[in-house]
Each structure stands twice: as C-alpha cells, then as structure tokens.
Amino acid sequence: MNKKFYFIVNPIAGPFNNIRYCEQIKKELLLDNYEVDIVSTLHKNHAFDLAKEKANDTNTLIVSMGGDGTFNEAASALVYSNAPLAHIPRGSGNGLARMLNIPRLRYQTADYLTNGMIKKIDAGKVNDRYFFCTCGFGFDAYIADRFNKSKLRGSLMYGWYIFNLFLKYKGITARFSVDGVAYNGNYFIVTFSNANQYGLNAKIAPHADLSDGLIDVTLVKNFPALLGPLMGIALLGGFINKMPYVKTFQAAKVEISSVSSPFFHIDGEAIDIKYPAHINVYKEALKLHIPKNEDFVFDRRALYKRFKIEKYLLKSELKDFIKKMAYEKDLN
C-alpha cells in the first residue's frame, strides 16, 4: 500500500470548499503516518500537468479531487504509466465514481484511499483526446455546450436546460462507420461509452464494461416528443437499451465523417472537433484505485448525510435559478 498521497484539487468544482474538505482528509491520513501533499489547480489542463509530473512515481497514490473534467485531465496524463490514480468525486455528475461506487462522503474517503485496490480500466480516444466515461454528439453535446457556458452550476440548472431546449432541438444528421459498417441518418443522440453513464446515474450504456477493450455505442433516433418523459425514466432506470428508437451494440473502432452540428462532448465537456474523427479504445490503459467492494452497500448514515447534502444543494441551486430567471426577465 502506498504511504504517500498527492492530491490534485480543483477548488471550484461543485458548490463546496474543496480545499477545506481535502485538509480534513489529510488530518485523518496524517494520524496513520501517511505523507500527504495537496496542490490546487489554477487553470484548465493544470491537473494534466500536475499528474504528468508524478507519472513515474509508483510509491505515491495520485488523487484527483473534482468533477469528471478534473479526473479526465489527471487520467489522460497517466495512460499507460505505472502510477495509480484515485478519485474523490466533487462535481455534479460523477459518472465514473457512481459506476464504481467510489465514496462521496468524507468519513468513508480515508478508508477508500488506504484500503482500496487497483483496477485496470480502458481509455477511449477521440483523435488526440482521451475519454473515460462517454463522448459523442447530439442533444447531450448541445446541452453540455450550453451548461459549460453557464455561470450557474448544479443538477437543477442542468435539468432546466434539458427541459427548456428539448422541444426546440431538431436532431442532427451524421455519417459515420462502426467497425466498417456505415451509418448515415438523422439522430437525437449518438454516444460512445466506456462507462455505463453520463453521471447522476443516467445510464446511457447500461451494460458497458470498463475493461473489455470495447466501446458501447448507443444510437437514439429522433423520437416523438410525447415519449420524452418515458425516455428520461428509461435512462435513469437503466433500460434505455430496451426502448424503441434506440439501438445499442459494441465496437472496437469508429470513424466519424461528418456531423451537421458543431457540438461534441468528451466526459461532459463540450469541445471543438475536426472531422473526420477517429475513436479507438485502449484496453486496460489506466491503473485506477477503486474500493475493494464495488457492489452497493446500504449505509443508513451515509444515506442520511447524502440526503442533507442534496437538500442543501437543491435549495442553493433553486435560489440561483430564481435569480437568473429574474435577471433574464429584466433584460427582456
């Protein structure tokens, strides 16, 4: 077990004080004679640079603390390195952490860091950018672009964008090939997944395996607006693959020739992309530190604490949401 921890902390991920949170974890680790360093990210891609500096240090457990974007930056620097990476989820979606049941409560975190195990997971790659959860184009990428540009964060604002833009969205036209099979048509969403979900337990690829060397492809054709609520339930319920207008399968390689939309996302972050674009998967490319027990274990104390956190977040987001709506009304 590593006796040194190197925390890469995104101080502005989520609504809480991540530096103070990390200092509390540090105190617990110091009591057990572990060495702990904490470094804050200062700008975009800083987590990549910080992790790269430790890529050859096998005696230190690198820990990313932030959202999926922070994890993506740190993990991208450690692909095929010998350094292991742990993650403390502090964002809104936390897709990979939810899939692996990485704890989100402080009193569980020290045990996860000191008693976890290494799992080698795949890394997907779009042109020169790695992804570890999902990537793709369509409505999800459109929402990611709008959300990334918003000054207000949180799940409530994300839900507002989905509700407000769903009926306005007309889908996209795309040409791409999956393992040599050509596809050309109109789509609502096309997602390529390594993990099983976007985040918030919205499972776009319910049967995805992080270590199988394959990409799970989910094609969602344009569907009647009346089916929207049912599609949302299916996404959260983990049975989107059984819905009409949806096709799912696995692949090793994808080539995207053209998309009639400028929006593309990688792990929830909207990016600019050049076509043709190539998607490949690299088997077991990252050493990820995970809990020894990946299965969900009911913990009443944890559930109660999480309820209080979510209640606080909802109130905070609602206040910000009301302020934003009032501001936009004044502008109009």
- Residue 182 pairs in a beta bridge with 177
Same domain? 297 vs 260: no
* CA gap 247, 216 in Å, rounded: 11
Q: What is the pLDDT of residue 151?
A: 66
Sequence letter at residue 245? Y
Nearest to 93 by CA among 169, 12, 214, 203: 203
Same domain? 121 vs 29: yes
Same domain? 170 vs 291: no
Of the candidate ranges 221-230, 255-264, 315-324, the one whose mean pLDDT is the lowest: 315-324
User: Cis bond leading into 84, ω under 30°?
Assistant: no
Same domain? 123 vs 147: no
Same domain? 100 vs 158: no
Mean pLDDT of 204-208: 97
Of 266, 281, 296, which marks where a domain is finished? 281
Strands 215-220 and 246-251 turn out to be antiparallel
Q: Which residue range forms the structural domain that includes residue 319?
A: 4-127+287-331
* CA gap 12, 14 in Å, rounded: 6
Same domain? 199 vs 238: yes
pLDDT tens-place string over residues 234-267: 999 999 999 999 999 999 999 999 999 999 999 9
Give the CATH number of the domain where residue 10 resides: 3.40.50.10330
Mean pLDDT of 224-233: 95
Burial grade of 224 (CB within 10 A; 0-12, 13-18, 19 or more): exposed
Same domain? 275 vs 243: yes
Q: What is the pLDDT of residue 322?
A: 76
Nearest to 213 by CA among 282, 143, 309, 308: 282
Q: Which residues contact 82 (CB under 8 A, 6 or more apart)?
A: 55, 56, 58, 287
* CA gap 10, 98 in Å, rounded: 19
Q: What is the pLDDT of residue 297?
A: 47
pLDDT at 130 over 80: yes
pLDDT tens-place string over residues 56-65: 998 999 999 9
Burial grade of 311 (CB within 10 A; 0-12, 13-18, 19 or more): exposed
E strand segments, 167-318: 172-178, 181-187, 189-193, 215-220, 246-251, 253-259, 264-266, 269-271, 277-290
**Which of the two residues, 321 and 273, has the higher pLDDT score?**
273
Give the CATH number of the domain where residue 196 resides: 2.60.200.40
Sequence letter at residue 152? L
Same domain? 143 vs 83: no
pTM (2 d.p.): 0.86
Same domain? 144 vs 269: yes
Same domain? 64 vs 165: no
Q: Report the number of distinct structural domains present in the chain.
A: 2
Same domain? 313 vs 204: no
Secondary structure (3-state) at 171: coil
CA 40 to chain CA centroid, nearest Å: 20
Same domain? 62 vs 165: no
